[in-house]
Amino acid sequence: MSYTFGIGKVTIKNGVSTVKEIIPLQDVNIDYSLTVHEESNPDGEVASESTDSKKTTINFSYSTTSTDISLISDIDYDLVFEANGDRGLEVTLAGCRLTGYTLKEAQANFVIVTLTFTKKGAIDSAPGSSPTQQTIQFGSTYIGDTASLITSYRGNTKAIIVPTLLGVLMRSTADLGGGQQEIHVKAFKKCSSRLELEQYLLTLYASLSTGSNTLTITYGGSSYTITKCYWNDGSPEGNNKTYGNFDLTFIRSAY
């Protein structure tokens, strides 16, 4: 879906502070794209379809006598679009990050600037709101800024080949004992420097090495717990300067 218009006003805000008012706008484009995950049946027809990712991109141009370099900052803006008379669109798009800044052309003592923003969170999110994130705690220790969980199970099932019988003799975990769950936590952490990120992981590892504890998984107003977990190992991914993805593995008895 793409909505394009060319006359109106936008106020760029940072919280309650007005950063810049722009009127009139040129070549305004608000683009919403959605990707889906599809599963097909044996005949090749789509049998199931679910949303995979959503993205909103905002572009507009305007004339100015300055380069407005102050807009280029690592912060989120709220874009408040207003009608100019009876023309234009009235909508507020919160949590927008400036991802593109182009001096399009220069004429006499003014330039044409094109700005590109990408939006964080739902299309109708209010200013100041943040997208809902899933969190995971080990006891009272939060793992990263946000995290997700994958579980696996390893039992103790044996297949015994007896030469005098046809087939095999099966012994289940219930007969032989055992049964282990492995819980893989994939987490993300944003820091202000590489040094801070390294120190965070060292401190996190130390706090997880205290023995058995409970994993608490929370998303919005819902949560569940996994008791009697032990941290087994952890490893970071990549070599980024200020943010990092890392994996942790916990184990527990399945019974």
* pLDDT, tens only, 196-234: 999 999 999 999 988 899 999 999 889 999 999 999 999
Residue 134 tokens read as 């899933």
Query: CA-CA distance, 78 to 92, in Å (whole number)?
Result: 7
Mean pLDDT calculated for residue range 74-78: 90
**Band of pLDDT at residue 93, cut at 50, 70 and 90:** very high
Residue 2, pLDDT above cutoff 60: no
> 2-119 is classed in which CATH architecture?
Beta Barrel (2.40)
* pLDDT value of residue 204: 94
* pLDDT value of residue 23: 85
243-253 and 222-237 beta bridge pairing: antiparallel
Lowest mean pLDDT among 1-10, 19-28, 138-147: 1-10
34, 43, 170, 180, 250 from 177: Cα distances, Å? 48, 43, 14, 10, 20
Q: What's the predicted TM-score (pTM) here?
A: 0.78
Residue 80, pLDDT above cutoff 80: yes
Mean pLDDT calculated for residue range 231-238: 88
**Domain range summary for the chain, segments of one domain joined by +:** 2-119, 134-253
| 2-119 and 134-253, same CATH topology | yes
Please provide the CATH number assigned to the domain covering 134-253.
2.40.30.200
* pLDDT value of residue 167: 84
* pLDDT, tens only, 25-35: 888 888 989 89
